[in-house]
Amino acid sequence: MGGKLPTQTYHDIAPQKANFEYLRNKLKLKQLEAKKSFAEKFPHVEKFLKEKGIDLSKLREHSAKIIGAGAIAGTLLLTPPSGAKSLPAASEVLEKIKAQKAEAPDVPQKLLVDTLTQALPAYPRPLTKPEEKNLEQVFQNVIEIPAKASLEGEHLNTTYGYIGAEQHLMRYPGDTMATHPKIPAGDEGMAPGRGAWGYFASTKSGLTPQLIETEKWYAVVQTLYLPDWVRRQPYLRDWYKYRKVLIVNTKNGNAVVAAIADSGPAAWTGKQFGGSPEVMEYLGGARYKKGAVVVFFVDDPENKVPLGPVEYNKVNVPLVALRNI
């Protein structure tokens, strides 16, 4: 492109026809007068801007940055998550499940694995509401557990993520592995500290059969990263304590009902959930230390759903049952 840039065309204006220095000074004075007038009329606004580190003379520049950041954020929010699939409506999923159950009633586990493979993205990420609603239908009709992604207005930061092996928790003061039940192979031992909700019982004699089962089949979720955890902690702490969740191994269909009894894992681990040695063994075998799972709340107001393995499957899928990811 030939010629001068638009920003250089003022060089062609004869200096005697326009005194640029005079105009610049006039504009500068006008800016200072406007700034002074604004400060006199709106002192509280000027104070607020100073506290935020915003120079009034550069307000337009600051606004442009905010608008630009907002546009980028909006684009990211409106962009469909990577790996998302075009999922059918919940009614279509239900009809498909019913048809497949009629054709092969003795292999519900394979039906679940096939359905999860089609419905879930290749790698874990937060699911959309339609995806979660579809899975609720799947779990209700295949596993026959009333599981919900959102329960009583509460929702985890993600319902599809990686679970990692955890250690046994101390059930009461003085509890040790000498008296604590163990899994046959690959036991993780006992954690050096208590769980997020402390001991399950204050004394050994106070350890009821229900509390024994709670520690045996416990789950870990990242309550510490909930956006309203600090603000609503007294309520949420009680709400999440021993809350039942359905954990489903997306690779083999094995499912466990567990009780939330600890908070974690840390974000840097790359895992979003944790399971007791017993939970992990049932989900994938003795060598199973990490894997992709879906975790939903169990809607069980009358406490009728027991903790432990969900024996909905009449056959096992040996090729993936012991897969160590």
Residue finishing a domain among 54, 78, 102? 78
Specify the DSSP element, H or E, that contains 122: none
Positive/negative CA dihedral, 120, 121, 124, 130: negative
**209-240 pLDDT, tens digit each:** 999 999 999 999 999 999 999 999 999 999 99
Residue tagged 């985890």 (tokens)? 156
Confidence of residue 37 (pLDDT cuts 50, 70, 90): confident
Rounded to whole angstroms, the Cα distance separating 112 from 109 reads 5
Least confident range from 9-23, 160-174, 238-252: namely: 9-23
In this structure, are 215 and 306 located in the same domain? yes
Helix (H, G, I), strand (E, B), or coil: what is residue 276? coil
Q: Is 26 left (phi over 0), alpha (psi -120 to 50) or beta?
A: alpha
Q: Mean pLDDT across the stretch 45-62?
A: 68
Query: DSSP secondary-structure letter at 306?
Result: P
Same domain, yes or no, for 143 and 72?
Answer: no
Residue 318 has pLDDT above 60, yes or no: no
The domain that holds 98 is classified in CATH as 2.40.40.10
Convert 116-142 to b/e letters by CB count within 10 Å (16 or more is b).
beebbeeebbebeeebbbbbbbbbbbb
Q: Are residues 30 and 70 located together in one domain of the fold?
A: yes
Residue 83: left (phi > 0), alpha (psi -120 to 50), or beta? left
Which pLDDT band holds residue 85 (cuts at 50, 70, 90)? low
Report the pLDDT value the prediction gives residue 321, as an integer from 0 to 100: 43
Q: Is residue 83 part of a domain?
A: no
Predicted confidence (pLDDT) at residue 87 exceeds the cutoff of 60: no
Q: What are 174-200's pLDDT values in tens digits? A: 999 999 999 988 888 999 999 999 999
Can you give the pLDDT at residue 57? 65
**Residues 199 and 304 occupy one common structural domain:** yes
Residues shown for the chain:
325
Contact 149, 245 (CB under 8 A): no
pLDDT, tens digit, 9 for 90 and up, residues 95-146? 666 566 556 555 688 889 999 999 999 999 999 999 999 999 999 999 999 9
Q: Is 140 among the domain residues?
A: yes
Q: What is the mean pLDDT of the chain?
A: 82
For residue 247, the cross-strand partners are 256, 295
- The answer to whether 253 touches 116, Cβ cutoff 8 Å, is yes
Q: What is the pLDDT of residues 268-289, one digit of tens each?
A: 999 999 999 999 999 999 899 9
Least confident of 68-77, 189-198, 260-269, 305-314: 68-77
Decide if pLDDT at 89 tops 60: no
- Checking DSSP bridges between strand 255-263 and strand 218-221, what pairing results, if any? parallel
pLDDT score for 317 = 43
> Comparing 318 with 91, which gets the higher pLDDT?
91
Whether 181 maps to a domain, the answer reads: yes
Give the end of a domain, one of 78, 99, 121.
Answer: 78
Domain range for 182 is 90-321
| Number of structural domains in the chain | 2
193 with 224, same domain: the answer is yes
> Do 274 and 317 belong to one domain?
yes
Burial of 272 (0-12, 13-18, 19+ CB in 10 A): buried
| 107 and 32 share one domain | no
**Boundary (domain end) residue, out of 78, 101, 126:** 78
Span 33-41, average pLDDT: 75
CB 186 within 8 A of CB 281: yes
What lies within 8 Å, CB to CB, of 181 at 6+ separation is 216
CA 61, CA 180: separation in Å to the nearest integer? 64
